[in-house]
Amino acid sequence: MPAALARATASWPTAEAVVDGEERLTFAGLDARSAAVARALVASGVRAGDRVSVWAPNSAAWVLVALGVYRAGAVLVPVNSRFKGQEAARVLRASGARLAFVVDGFLGADHLAMLAEHREGLDALGEIVLLAAPARPGATGWDAFLARGERDPDGALAAVVAARTAALGGDDVSDIVFTSGTTGAPKGAMLTHGASTRVYTAWSDVVGLRHGDRYLLVYPFFHTAGLKSGMLACVLAGATLLPHPAFDVPSVMRKVTEERVTMLPGPPAIYQTILGSDLTGYDLSSWRLAVTGAAVVPVELVRRLRSELGLRTVVTGYGLTETTGTATMCRHDDDPEVVARTSGRAIPGVEVRVVDDAGTPLPPGTPGEIVVRGYNIMKGYLDDPEATAEAVDADGWLHSGDIGIQDAAGNVTITDRKKDMFIVGGFNAYPAEIEAALLERGDLVQAAVVGIPDDRLGEVGVAFVVPRAGAAVDPAEVIAWSRARMANYKVPRRVEVVDALPLNATGKVVKYELRAQAAPSSPP
Ligand code: ATP
Ligand code: MG
């Protein structure tokens, strides 16, 4: 990854690399300032291979630290910015981070104070540095940290950084990225420099990201969607990165208007929110490219992004943290119908198959588990060889836990997660399919279906629906509507009208929370 930055700096030294409010960095500036972070890390005692953590929302300083960590030969461990102290401490403990960069408050939470309550077992953590903020008791200030790297009269620190960068190989671990925790506790995946650059060179190429693009990033840096398809793809393509700390329609639409944004990727949920909002007063004409995935994408959504927002290119993709974030992608010149119906095919050099429980490949159109093999597969889960062996089989296939089908051209459609599918009286019900049907009503912004236990049928579905602004939605009518359009076993037994669905920081609906809410034992 440091080589990718050096290439961008040589090719486009004066082009804007990162824009964050008042802060505007060219590639030359990004190069100089991330080198300063790397020198300061060396001066702070960080050795090659040491883990360095960042617990903060998206910002320009986050980018400087990430690139500085790579250049110092250390391993980046991003922490979910929405985590509470206990959750963050778990990641810091598990990774043995020596140094952590922490934001001085985000969304009303005091990260430093939260961490102070959970210091037990954090013996490896020698220092906390406040990101782009002055010192507080228990934490070094940003300027004081950087000053360590500036006192380098004989160039000794710079020489160490240069040697560490030169020693990096493609197979060296660059980051430990934790999964989203959609199905359980997040797992730390060890990703490498080589896989990251190779995957996102291919990714930029297939989605059509190029120099001159202005890329608004709402995906968080602590997830591969932000860290790899956001930060790294921009460095590889020479695009301008606009890191955004938290999604809300007015702030994002204002930035698109003022900064002439061309690319805004996101999970389906944020596009649904944008489409359900009043957009008068914004100029979205610069926006040409949308990339979505991360959860099942309703066909209707792709159509509306084109017809209502006028986007020229909408691309869908599929991946897991364990596949360095990407396994399949649509190509930017794919037929809109392919984009709407599928998440594309394997990126170049990667194999994707649909198999049965015995691992035998299934014919096109037959649902089974998606498995992936190639250079994009993680090195393993952090300190968990058993879990790694369970996920990646002896032949190198990663078992995704997702159910899907493949068409004759290899395009994959994710039907659902193995864990979310439920069985009603012997029939497999796929929540994503039912949700997509419900969204066709037109009066709903979002829908989520979960299976709950039922004495007679084994399981039945419960739908949680968010009405469009101003729409009055009657649960009994939704059930009657569903009866007329879907097989009986798919019809939700109950419909709950809610203001919002529980989303994790990656924008995915947290279904286990909904299942708990929907369980018959809990009050209505
Ligand atoms: P955890 O593994 O901790 O439960 P997670 O699986 O949500 O969380 P990630 O690695 O962030 O963590 O997400 C990968 C998952 O996201 C995939 O396994 C798949 O279920 C879902 N996903 C990604 N892209 C798509 C897509 N295009 N369509 C449907 N689902 C997708
Ligand atoms: Mg997962």
Count other C-beta atoms under 10 Å from residue 443's C-beta: 14
Phi–psi pair at 384, nearest 5 degrees: -145, 70
In the reported structure, the alpha carbon of residue 319 is separated from the centroid of ligand 1 by a whole-number distance in angstroms of: 7
Residue among 176, 180, 191 to mutate when testing ligand 1 (max atoms within 8 A of CB): 180
- Tell me which residues have their CB within 5 A of the ion that is ligand 2: 179
Closest by alpha carbon to 116, among 91, 137, 95, 142?
Answer: 137
Q: Are 249 and 274 in contact (CB under 8 A)?
A: yes
Closest atom of ligand 1 to CA, residue 189: 10
Distance from C-alpha of 321 to C-alpha of 325, rounded to nearest angstrom:
5
Please provide the size of the chain in residues: 524
Ligand whose nearest atom lies closest to the CA of 183: 1
Q: Which atom of ligand 1 is nearest to the CA of 401?
A: 18
* Residue-level pLDDT, tens digit, the chain, 524 residues: 999 999 999 999 999 999 999 999 999 999 999 999 999 999 999 999 999 999 999 999 999 999 999 999 999 999 999 888 999 999 999 999 999 999 999 989 999 999 999 999 899 999 999 999 999 999 999 999 999 999 998 999 999 999 999 999 999 999 999 998 887 788 999 999 999 999 999 999 999 999 999 999 999 999 999 999 999 999 999 999 999 999 999 999 999 999 999 999 998 888 988 998 999 999 999 999 999 987 778 888 888 999 999 999 999 999 999 999 999 999 988 988 899 889 999 999 999 999 999 999 999 999 999 999 999 999 999 999 999 999 999 999 999 999 999 999 999 999 888 889 899 988 889 998 899 899 999 999 999 999 999 999 999 999 999 999 889 999 999 999 999 999 999 999 999 999 999 988 777 888 989 999 998 654 44
Model pTM?
0.90
Identity at 152, one-letter amino acid code = D
Which ligand 1 atom is nearest residue 400's CA? 18
435 lines ligand 1 (CB under 6 A): no
Q: Which atom of ligand 1 is nearest to the CA of 292?
A: 27
Q: Which residue, judged by its Cα, is nearest atom 2 of ligand 1? A: 179
Counting ligands in written order, the one closest to the CA of 316 is 1
Whole-angstrom distance, CA of residue 11 vs CA of residue 300: 40
* Ligand 1 centroid – CA 310 distance (Å): 28
Residues 6+ apart with CB under 8 A from 170: 192, 193, 194, 195, 197, 198
Among candidate residues 320, 488, 346, the one with its CA nearest the CA of residue 411: 346
Q: What interface predicted TM-score (ipTM) does this complex get?
A: 0.99
